[in-house]
């Protein structure tokens, strides 16, 4: 039963948050859509005027935009690995053993401390000469007499996808480990024991033991037990994690690029989020940056809706 | 829930523990490298040895002479504490309105709140920057604190907590003549304490680590927060890997300490945050 006399007290309680919400979220969303249709520039050298959809046309024709979009998608390829890894760790941790909480705490540490300090650490770890990553590779290589070449990581334009430099396409010469893989590796290290793992762990405790036991009594092996009992139970969690990873991935890569690579070498680690940052806060092209931000927003919306459709269907099939 | 005691279990448990030990070592190795490098002379930090030959704890003191690191910590603490306090307050009040009061239009407004959680930060960042410039709050802590103090996520989180408090408690208090404020302060807030603590930890950590907003807002060196301070220590002071690592070690101490004390609350918060579906 809704009570009209409660409306005013309710609005009183809501007021501070609602005011902030209108000023710093709802208002800005509307304003940014409007700004994306202008040539708004904070440098004041150009008079403000409406430009219609020209910013959007420019963005879609902009080679930098396309490259950064490709980079963004490429970085998102790490997500399935990170999610599978999180599930694996959760399964390992889902047992009643003494000291299991300690493992959980240790594995959660990378995700928990993530931020500028840890990125600066990884910048050192990826140093081609003295970084721990290459030192370790050299040790293994010497030990087994493999004669491996160590990658130069953050200063290398190579990638496992063999992506061309400064052009959309593939090139065999560019195949290898480079800056993109370095950032993806760091991302997986930070994510594997993180929030997704905790979500899976919570979901796993919700799988009734009787079900797995019954399946085992029926002669189901480990894999079929997982595939037909555990995995369907995890579907809603997986769905949620996938949606959040796609949404996060589309907007991601800014901090890494700003702190570790400057988007380089040759733009190989620049993502859409970093592109928008450069447009808005280095070049002060606010109108154009807003348009690119809205294109990104559109991708996020499409991804969410597609995920919803796909997610619902998958849930029914299972 | 008793666990099944299949014969295979014990063997697989040992295998699992083995894998967990290896994974934990992988998780910890970078931290170990960081801590050890922070005690090395520069030449060793940029060499290939793992343990320091000459321990140089004075690296830590040196960080403070090269950059005003204590000042960065104060700035970060000041900003994070204010944002945490304001976010908890505004979120709790809004959550009360959404969870404990019935009013026309409530669910519509709440859905709008949830929907905006999907809006990418980069969309609102540019207008927010313009607002702050217009209000002459560029390079000020107010500009850093106020826009960060209204959280749709916090409102959602506390609403979920408050929904679990039995409505009979409110009714009883109201029978005794208590108004909304009294119910909010004396009945709902004490019972929502675990939720508030969770939100407080999340907000504090999020603000302590926040990078984008302080980066574009702060101009003066003495205003820098810890992440911004470290960023410029890395880019403006030449190569001092050992000192940089000492600064990085100190920067992650607050989150690690909070983690040790607030682990249970955090895990709970993450799991509740995911049920929004």
In chain A, the residue whose alpha carbon lies closest to the alpha carbon of B127 is A28
- Using the predicted structure, report yes or no on whether residue B10 has a pLDDT greater than 70: no
d(CA A175, CA A159): 5
Examine residue A34 and state whether it is found in any structural domain, yes or no: no
| pLDDT at res. B277 | 32
Please report the pLDDT score of residue A312 as a whole number: 55
State the Cα–Cα distance between residues B167 and A51, nearest whole angstrom: 54
Tokens at residue B26, please?
Answer: 């992988």
Average pLDDT over residues B54-67: 93
Mean pLDDT computed over every residue of chain A: 88
**How distant is the Cα of A69 from the closest Cα of chain B, in angstroms?**
15
- Does residue A63 belong to any structural domain of this protein? yes
B215's tokens: 């980066």
Residue A24 forms part of a structural domain? no
The domain tally of chain A equals 1
pLDDT at A279: 94
CB within 8 Å: A16 and B48: no
Instruction: Using a pLDDT cut of 90, give the percent of chain A over it.
Output: 56
Residue pair B218/B139 in contact (Cβ under 8 Å)? The answer is: yes
* φ, ψ dihedrals at A130, nearest 5°: -105, -5
- For residues A281 and A163, what is the distance between their CA atoms, to the nearest angstrom? 28
Q: What is the pLDDT of residue B273?
A: 60
Q: Computed over its alpha carbons, how large is the radius of gyration of chain A?
A: 24
Map tokens 């801590």 to a residue: B35
Query: pTM here?
Result: 0.90
Which residues of chain A make contact with B94, given a CB cutoff of 8 A? 13-14, 16-18
Cβ(A260)–Cβ(A123) below 8 Å: yes
For residue A288, the enclosing domain spans 45-113+180-317
By Cβ distance, the residue of B96, B150, B252 closest to A20 is B150
% of residues, chain A, pLDDT over 70: 96
Split at pLDDT 50, 70, 90, the class of A4 is low
ipTM of the complex: 0.89
Picking from B103, B114, B142, B162 by the largest number of A CB atoms within 10 A of its own CB, the best residue to mutate is: B103
- Measured CA to CA, the distance from residue B253 to residue B275 in angstroms comes to 31
pLDDT tens figures, A256-276: 999 999 998 999 999 999 999
Going by C-beta distance under 8 Å and a sequence separation of 6 or more, which residues neighbour residue A219?
A: none
Q: Per the structure block, which two tokens stand in for B192?
A: 């929502």
pLDDT higher than 60, residue B274: no
Q: From A244, A15, A290, A302, select the one nearest B124 (Cα to Cα).
A: A290
Q: In this predicted structure, what is the pLDDT of residue A315? A: 45
**Encoded tokens for B244:** 């940089």
Split at pLDDT 50, 70, 90, the class of A93 is very high
pLDDT average, residue stretch A41-63 = 87
Q: Does residue A50 fall inside a structural domain?
A: yes
Mean pLDDT across chain B, nearest whole number? Answer: 88
Q: What is the pLDDT of residues B61-99, one digit of tens each?
A: 999 999 999 999 999 999 999 999 999 999 999 999 999
Query: Residue A99: which CATH number?
Result: 1.10.3720.10
Per-residue CA distances from A258 to A115, A155, A302, B75 (Å): 12, 15, 27, 22
Kindly tell me the burial class for residue B43, based on how many C-beta atoms sit within 10 Å of its own C-beta (0-12, 13-18, 19 or more). exposed
The predicted structure's pLDDT at residue B235 = 87
Spell out the domains of chain B, with CATH numbers in brackets: 7-59 (no CATH), 68-236 (1.10.3720.10)
Q: How far apart are CA B248 and CA B35, in angstroms?
A: 9
One-character DSSP codes across A202-221: HHHHTS-HHHHHHHHHTT--
Decide if A142 is inside a domain. Answer: no
Burial of B10 (0-12, 13-18, 19+ CB in 10 A): exposed
Return the number of other C-beta atoms located less than 10 Å from residue B4's C-beta: 12
């Amino acid at each position: 039963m809704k009570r009209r006399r409660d409306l005013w007290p309710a609005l009183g309680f809501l007021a501070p948050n609602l005011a902030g919400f209108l000023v710093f979220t709802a208002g800005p969303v509307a304003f940014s859509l409007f700004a994306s249709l202008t040539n708004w520039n904070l440098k004041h050298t150009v008079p403000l005027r409406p430009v219609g959809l020209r910013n959007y046309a420019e963005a879609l024709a902009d080679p930098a935009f396309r490259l950064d979009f490709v980079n963004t998608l490429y970085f998102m390829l790490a997500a399935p690995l990170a999610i599978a890894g999180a599930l694996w760790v959760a399964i390992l941790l889902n047992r009643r053993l003494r000291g299991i909480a300690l493992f959980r705490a240790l594995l959660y540490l990378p995700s928990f401390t993530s931020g500028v300090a840890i990125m600066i650490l990884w910048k050192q770890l990826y140093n081609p000469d003295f970084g721990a990553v290459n030192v370790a590779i050299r040790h293994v290589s010497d030990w087994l007499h493999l004669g491996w070449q160590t990658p130069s990581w953050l200063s290398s334009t190579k990638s496992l996808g063999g992506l061309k430099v400064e052009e959309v396409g593939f090139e065999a010469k560019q195949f290898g480990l480079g800056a993109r893989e370095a950032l993806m590796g760091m991302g997986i290290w930070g994510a594997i024991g993180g929030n997704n793992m905790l979500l899976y762990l919570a979901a796993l405790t919700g799988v009734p033991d009787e079900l797995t036991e019954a399946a085992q009594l029926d002669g189901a092996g480990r894999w079929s037990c997982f595939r037909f009992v555990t995995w369907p139970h995890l579907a809603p969690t997986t769905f949620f994690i996938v949606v959040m990873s796609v949404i996060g991935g589309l907007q991601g890569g800014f901090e890494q690029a700003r702190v570790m690579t400057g988007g380089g070498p040759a733009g190989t680690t620049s993502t859409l989020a970093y592109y928008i940052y450069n447009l808005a806060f280095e070049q002060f092209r606010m109108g154009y940056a807003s348009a690119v931000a809205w294109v990104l927003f559109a991708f996020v919306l499409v991804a969410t809706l597609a995920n919803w459709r796909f997610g619902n269907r998958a849930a029914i099939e299972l | 829930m008793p666990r099944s005691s299949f014969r295979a279990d014990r063997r697989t448990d040992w295998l699992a523990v083995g894998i967990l030990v290896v994974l934990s070592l992988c998780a910890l190795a970078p931290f170990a490298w960081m801590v050890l490098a922070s005690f090395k002379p520069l030449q060793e930090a940029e060499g290939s040895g793992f343990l320091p030959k000459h321990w140089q704890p004075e690296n830590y003191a040196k960080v403070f002479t090269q950059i005003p690191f204590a000042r960065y910590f104060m700035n970060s603490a000041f900003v994070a504490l204010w944002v945490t306090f304001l976010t908890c307050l505004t979120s709790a009040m809004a959550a009360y309105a959404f969870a404990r009061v019935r009013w026309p239009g409530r669910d519509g407004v709440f859905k709008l709140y949830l929907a905006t959680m999907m809006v990418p930060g980069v969309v609102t960042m540019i207008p927010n920057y313009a607002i702050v410039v217009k209000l002459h709050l560029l390079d000020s802590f107010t500009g850093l604190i106020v826009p960060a103090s209204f959280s749709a996520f916090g409102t959602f989180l506390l609403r979920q907590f408050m929904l679990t408090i039995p409505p009979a408690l409110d009714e009883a208090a109201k029978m005794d003549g208590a108004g909304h404020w009294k119910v909010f302060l004396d009945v709902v807030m004490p019972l929502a304490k675990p939720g508030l603590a969770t939100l407080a930890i999340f907000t504090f950590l999020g603000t302590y680590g926040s990078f984008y907003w302080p980066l574009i807002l702060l101009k003066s060196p003495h205003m820098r927060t810890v992440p911004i301070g470290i960023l410029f220590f890395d880019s403006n002071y030449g190569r001092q890997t050992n000192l940089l690592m000492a600064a990085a070690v100190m920067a992650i101490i607050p989150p690690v300490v909070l983690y040790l004390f607030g682990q249970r609350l955090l895990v709970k918060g993450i799991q509740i945050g995911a049920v929004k579906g």
